[in-house]
Amino acid sequence: MAKTRKRVKKNKQQKSAVSPVLIAGVAVGAVLVVIGLILLGNRSPEESAPVEISQFPAMGDVNAPVTIVEYSDYACPHCRDFNLDKVNQLETEFVDTGQVRYVSHPFHLGTPDRALAVEAAWCAADQERYFEYQTALFENFGNPLVEPYLNRLAATIELDQDAFAQCLSNRTHRADVEQARQAAARQGVDSTPTFFINNRRVEGNQPYEVFRDIIEQELASAQ
């Protein structure tokens, strides 16, 4: 009996000797995880993967000193208001004069109907009518974003309807839309409308003067 008790005591000592090592290992692992999360959270925008915007629909001089990238959603009322109320003024004052290149980053906030509408706009881009189609979507805001409606809308801006319908039914741009959504996420875009004026971020449908002032500041710094 004495030997048995001694053996049990020895086993307990071994377990107690191993336990601190395990605890220390877990603690070190937890510290490394926390440090990793802190480093990721502190990454500057310059360290993020750059978003390639050259493939997105755009208007204006490719060498313009100021670039505006717009992220908007076709079911977003604030995006509708911005596009119908301010884009024409920006185009007249800054795009047509060669000072601004305006890029539309096709984007949606995650529902299938919104994604389909972006695909439709990209199909219109294949016929070089992206902005006209986008305007038509916003002018008819509130209609269900389903394939028959999107096809009918193409007719209102005189697209080649057969080519458009085939593009949409084949989901030609599904991968493009998803890649654009992921690119927006990498930029931290999670609400619409969001804009980048050069590297300056502007959120929401701000008064026109806000956009004009930032553009003029960027133009002055580019001289």
Same domain, 24 and 133: no
Question: Considering the domain boundaries, does residue 50 fall inside one?
Answer: no
* Structure tokens that stand for 149 in this block: 């409606």
In Å, what is the CA distance from 104 to each residue of 67, 134, 166, 194?
11, 10, 23, 11
**What are the DSSP calls for 68-132, one per residue?**
EEEEE-TT-HHHHHHHHHTHHHHIIIIITTTSEEEEEEE---S-HHHHHHHHHHHHHHHTT-HHH
Q: pTM for this one?
A: 0.75
Same domain, 32 and 73: no
* Structure tokens that stand for 126 in this block: 């294949």
Same domain, 38 and 113: no
Alpha-carbon distance 131 to 220, whole Å?
Answer: 28
Same domain, 36 and 66: no
- The arithmetic mean of pLDDT across residues 195-205, rounded, is 96
The string of pLDDT tens digits covering residues 112-129 is 999 999 999 999 999 999
Mean pLDDT across the chain: 83
Same domain, 96 and 17: no
The string of pLDDT tens digits covering residues 2-48 is 443 333 344 444 444 444 444 444 444 443 333 333 333 333 333 33
Same domain, 19 and 86: no
Question: Considering the domain boundaries, does residue 163 fall inside one?
Answer: yes
